């Protein structure tokens, strides 16, 4: 008996729902663009498979039996959930709703993402954005744990399949100092000349710290950090206060450079470009909202 019930076609329950709602085989047939004899036949089959009468037929139309009432209570609830599910999918497809979680580093937010997010929010105000900030390794870890949808981070990064990276923007960082270091900025300097000076840098475990440690080591020097900060945003005000010198994105330093609050210390050795990139898990299916924001972020 249970096997027979499980084998009943979804269409039979759909027909039952319309018949019970309209109290008429004829009206149900019209609503479903079907014919009345076929509707009647299907309901006869349903009653046979369930082993009970579902409808009481009379000249006034039909009404549900007690068994039919119980079935309709369950079927109508199921169809209401299906309707709600269809509406949710329609809203998702039209990007009226949805949630996207992005892990982002400071420089990526300032140099690229703020304007991209503003553009996306203007186009799709119903999509909820969750933005988190952490070190690059921690952000990549969050991507692997599925706690975020995308990581927007700067190089260097250490990833392997199924993670893939797409370069979005190249940028350069310059060495800056406050008014106390004006003389140091008067001519280009070798890295070896900077040993006596206090360096301000992001804390250990960040991609920036690793980048500059590698830069100094490749030139047979050692990066000596006297002050660690938690975010790159904190470097500029600390430099302005003459607490040391530090590397900072050139584009983000421009206003302070133009105003004379800080000075650029030219480095003779080559400081490689860094990249802001989008990192994603290629093994994960992407929602409509994820595809839309990726298109905006990766677009020109």
The answer to whether 189 and 266 are in contact (CB under 8 A) is yes
What class is the 2-93 domain? Answer: mainly alpha
Residue 192 in this model has a pLDDT that exceeds 50: yes
Q: How confident is the model at residue 7 (pLDDT cuts 50, 70, 90)?
A: very low
The position carrying tokens 């500029």 is: 236
In CATH, what number does 99-170+275-298 get?
A: 3.40.190.10
Structure tokens at 294: 């990726």
Residue pLDDT, tens place only, 117-152: 999 999 999 888 999 988 899 999 999 999 999 999
Residue 94 has pLDDT above 70, yes or no: no
**Alpha carbon of residue 147 to chain centroid:** 9
Determine which helix (DSSP H) or strand (DSSP E) holds 48, and give its type and residue range: helix 36-50
> Mean pLDDT for the chain?
90
**pTM of this structure:** 0.70
SS3 category, 175: strand
156 three-state secondary structure: coil
End-to-end CA separation in angstroms for the chain: 62
What number of other Cβ atoms are within 10 A of residue 279's Cβ? Answer: 20
Return all residues near 275 (Cβ < 8 A) that are at least 6 apart. 154, 155, 167, 168, 169, 170, 171
Residue 244: other Cβ atoms inside 10 A: 20
How far is 12 from 123, CA to CA, in rounded Å?
42
The 10s digit of each residue's pLDDT in 39-58 is 999 999 999 989 999 999 88
Residues 103 and 132 sit within 8 Å (Cβ to Cβ): yes
pLDDT at 154: 93
Domain boundaries, the chain: 2-93, 99-170+275-298, 173-272
Taking alpha carbons only, the member of 145, 152, 107 closest to residue 129 is: 152
In three-state secondary structure terms, 247 is strand
Please tell me the predicted confidence (pLDDT) of residue 92. 66
**CATH class of segment(s) 173-272:** alpha beta
- 2-93 matches 99-170+275-298 in fold: no
- Please write the tens of the pLDDT for every residue from 280-292: 999 998 888 899 9
Integer CA distances (angstroms), 63 to 55, 66, 187, in order: 6, 10, 95
């Amino acid at each position: 008996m249970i096997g027979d019930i499980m084998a009943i076609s979804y269409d039979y329950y759909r027909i039952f729902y319309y018949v019970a709602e309209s109290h008429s085989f004829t009206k149900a047939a019209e609503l479903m663009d079907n014919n009345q004899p076929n509707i009647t036949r299907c309901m006869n089959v349903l009653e046979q498979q369930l082993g009970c009468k579902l409808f009481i037929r009379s000249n006034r139309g039909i009404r549900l039996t007690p068994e039919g009432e119980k079935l309709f209570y369950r079927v109508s609830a199921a169809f209401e959930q299906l309707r709600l599910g269809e509406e949710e999918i329609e809203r998702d497809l039209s990007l009226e709703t949805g949630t996207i979680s992005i892990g982002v580093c400071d420089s990526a937010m300032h140099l690229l993402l703020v304007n991209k997010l503003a553009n996306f929010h203007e186009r799709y105000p119903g999509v909820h954005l969750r933005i988190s900030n952490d070190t690059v390794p921690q952000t990549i870890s969050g991507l692997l744990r599925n706690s975020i949808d995308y990581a927007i981070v700067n190089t260097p990064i250490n990833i392997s399949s199924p993670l893939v990276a797409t370069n979005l923007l190249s940028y350069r960082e310059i060495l800056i100092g406050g008014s106390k270091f004006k003389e140091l900025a008067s001519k280009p300097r070798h890295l070896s000349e900077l040993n006596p000076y206090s360096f301000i840098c992001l804390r250990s475990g960040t991609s920036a710290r690793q980048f500059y440690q590698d830069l100094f080591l490749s030139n047979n020097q050692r990066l000596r950090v006297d002050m660690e900060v938690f975010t790159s945003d904190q470097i500029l005000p600390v430099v302005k206060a003459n607490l040391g010198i530090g590397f900072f994105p050139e584009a983000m330093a421009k206003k302070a450079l133009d105003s004379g609050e800080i000075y650029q210390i030219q480095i003779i050795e080559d400081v490689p470009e860094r990249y802001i990139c989008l990192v994603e898990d290629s093994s994960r299916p992407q929602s409509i909202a994820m595809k839309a924001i990726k298109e905006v972020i990766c677009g020109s």
